[in-house]
């Protein structure tokens, strides 16, 4: 029997939802360590980062989202953990960033990353304010892009999870950069309208991202950054239509849990 996948969840300084994310990984058979960023910066952790198979940056409001969402956390992580994360990724590690964690990965330069070669920690992607200013909390429908190379969405097609953010509009430097991202299969998830089509329109797309982009991956497919919250749909009864569609919803694994299961499969 193979050893469980080991997962590291950095915590503290305004990150939250770490318990839900840890529960998700444990439900799919992984072992989880939650370690405060202060301890990671000081190298006080159960094992070195490269000895984990997965690192998960969770949602919340790290450092109060001062300046911009995830920017301060990304700056400190780059200063203290760049070499550790480089070694972790060089060894085949997988990363997921959820909401504020997605903002961290983008501003850390790990998403979308360079077109080839190891991570260079140069930011190429921003998460701007929602088109309709303000924080929106609602369930969304997401479609997996057929060209996506992302390991976290393997075997999935359409999923439903909550989205709750005020700063989640994916912005790249140019249309050419966006075209390259789409051509290379690095758009992992898109917001869908009621007809199942990618949409930029509110409220099905809560932030107005071009092309309905809700999640992106890196060139290897091992790093996923998504603004919606898969850790908030781990049990059938969490679905808002559960009381009316109980049998239908219970007939399949909750969509959020399916993302975590895909992420720990194949090691």
Q: Is residue 60 part of a domain?
A: yes
Mind listing the pLDDT tens digit for each residue in 209-252? 999 999 999 999 999 999 999 999 999 999 999 999 999 999 99
Q: How many CB atoms lie within 10 A of CB 23?
A: 15
- What are the backbone angles phi and psi of residue 169, rounded to the nearest 5°? -85, 115
Which active-site residues does the annotation give? 99, 229, 231
Query: Which residues of the chain fall short of a pLDDT of 50?
Result: none
Strand partners, 216: 187, 225
- CATH classification at residue 11: 3.40.50.880
Quote the pLDDT of residue 65. Answer: 86
Quote the pLDDT of residue 1. Answer: 55
Domain of 150, in residue numbers: 6-263
Q: How many structural domains is the chain composed of? A: 1
Q: Is residue 148 part of a domain?
A: yes
Q: Is residue 221 part of a domain?
A: yes
Q: Is residue 248 part of a domain?
A: yes
Q: Is residue 103 part of a domain?
A: yes
Mind listing the pLDDT tens digit for each residue in 40-63? 999 999 999 999 999 999 999 999
Rg (CA), the chain: 17
* CA–CA dist 16, 31 (Å, integer): 19
Does this model's pTM top 0.75? My answer is yes
Which residue, chain included where needed, has tokens 């099905």? 204
Quote the pLDDT of residue 199. Answer: 97
């Amino acid at each position: 029997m193979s050893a469980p996948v080991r997962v590291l969840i950095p915590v503290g300084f305004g990150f939250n939802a770490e318990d839900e994310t840890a529960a998700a990984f444990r439900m799919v058979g992984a072992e989880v360590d939650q370690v405060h960023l202060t301890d990671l910066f000081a190298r006080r952790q159960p094992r070195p980062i490269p000895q984990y198979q997965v690192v998960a940056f969770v949602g919340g409001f790290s450092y109060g989202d001062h300046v911009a969402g995830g920017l301060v956390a990304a700056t400190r992580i780059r200063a203290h953990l760049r070499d550790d994360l480089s070694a972790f990724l060089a060894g085949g590690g997988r990363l997921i960033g959820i909401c504020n964690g997605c903002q961290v990965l983008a501003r850390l330069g790990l998403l979308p990353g360079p077109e080839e070669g190891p991570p260079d920690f140069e930011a190429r992607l921003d998460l701007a304010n929602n088109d309709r200013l303000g924080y929106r909390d609602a369930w969304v429908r997401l479609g997996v892009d057929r060209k996506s190379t992302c390991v976290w969405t393997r075997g999935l097609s359409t999923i439903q999870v909550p989205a709750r953010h005020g700063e989640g509009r994916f912005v790249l430097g140019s249309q050419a950069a966006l075209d390259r991202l789409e051509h290379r299969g690095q758009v992992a998830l898109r917001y869908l309208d009621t007809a199942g089509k990618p949409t930029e329109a509110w409220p099905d797309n809560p932030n107005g991202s071009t092309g309905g982009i809700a999640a992106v991956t890196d060139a290897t497919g091992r790093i996923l950054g998504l603004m919606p919250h898969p850790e908030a749909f781990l049990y059938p009864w969490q679905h808002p239509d559960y009381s009316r569609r109980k049998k239908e919803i219970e007939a399949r694994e909750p969509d959020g849990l399916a993302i975590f299961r895909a992420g720990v499969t194949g090691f």
